[in-house]
Structure 1
Amino acid sequence: MVKEAEKFAKEDKEQRDAIDTKNQADSILYQTEKQLKELGDKVPGPVKEKVEAKVKELKDAISGGSTQAIKDAMAALNQEVMQLGQSIYSQPGQPNADPASASAPGSSRSTRKTADGDDVIEADFTNSK
């Protein structure tokens, strides 16, 4: 029995990897489709089309059954989902849309305009040695 188990260990490992990969792909598909549905019209058209194309590619890879094709399609979909997130958070009117305007944690800063229109930034400064 031990010899037989050792004989089939490699095949068992490959089969487990294939099943785990397929389950992970199904999870990513569900999460991506849910996110697209929740965001609705907030997603720019071209970005949404790219994500939907990658979703279709992943579905095709899952039905094809090749573990490596599924992994490649998942990586491509993840890349597009990151682009989706960037496009959503970079839209005007979103909180923290401009990271340069956010002040550093623990600092006290305020911006005001002078009479001649110049910006003045007031900040507390402490010198620690």
Structure 2
Amino acid sequence: MTKIQVEKMVEEAEKFAAEDKEKRDAIDTKNQAESVIYQTEKQLKELGDKVPGDVKEKVEGKLKELQVAVAGGSTQTIKDALAALNQEVMQLGQSLYQQQGSGPTPGADGAADSTGPGPGPSEKTGDGGDVIDADFTDSN
């Protein structure tokens, strides 16, 4: 190739670099959105009735918005819908965490659980209940 041909190819590559970057961003955003849609649907299905009705409705609404955006929206529209869905999914997680926190917790009365394993052959408990891990070898 001649020097002029090489310079022309470099110019064209620079000219289309921004366009290529936008296309890559659009594809990555769409793939991420489709993945989040799948994960959210799966999570809602697995959790079933554990999800409070109002929270579930909000998540499903944002899920629909994201599906519509993926079907025909701009990259920015998809990003906005994705962020909105992620916010609602975070609220979903918080509501489930609060539900778990309000119920009785095993061992909550301060009693130690004696069913767990004690120190193993290479472990000794030190002062304050800390576990000290030690290995030894038999020199005989």
Instruction: Give the alignment's TM-score, normalised by structure 1.
Output: 0.72
- The equivalent of 1:48 in structure 2 is 56
**Aligned equivalents of 2:35 and 2:57: distance in 1?**
20
Which amino acid counterpart does residue 24 of structure 1 have in structure 2? Q
Which of 68, 71, 80 in structure 2 is aligned with 1:63? 71
Which of 8, 17, 22 in structure 1 is aligned with 2:16? 8
**Aligned equivalents of 1:10 and 1:90: distance in 2?**
46
Q: SS in structure 2 opposite 1:90?
A: helix
For structure 1, which runs of at least 5 residues remain unmatched after alignment? 102-108, 112-123, 125-129
- The equivalent of 1:87 in structure 2 is 95
For structure 2, which runs of at least 5 residues remain unmatched after alignment? 1-8, 112-127, 129-140
Which amino acid counterpart does residue 25 of structure 2 have in structure 1? D
**Aligned equivalents of 1:61 and 1:110: distance in 2?**
51
| Alpha-carbon distance, 1:17 to partner | 0.3
Instruction: State the superposition RMSD in angstroms.
Output: 1.8
**Aligned equivalents of 2:96 and 2:57: distance in 1?**
14
Residues 1:22 and 2:30 aligned together:
yes
Which amino acid counterpart does residue 75 of structure 1 have in structure 2? A
Q: SS in structure 2 opposite 1:47?
A: helix
Larger radius of gyration: 2
**Aligned equivalents of 1:27 and 1:39: distance in 2?**
18
Residue identity (%): 76
The count of corresponding residues between Structure 1 and Structure 2 is 99
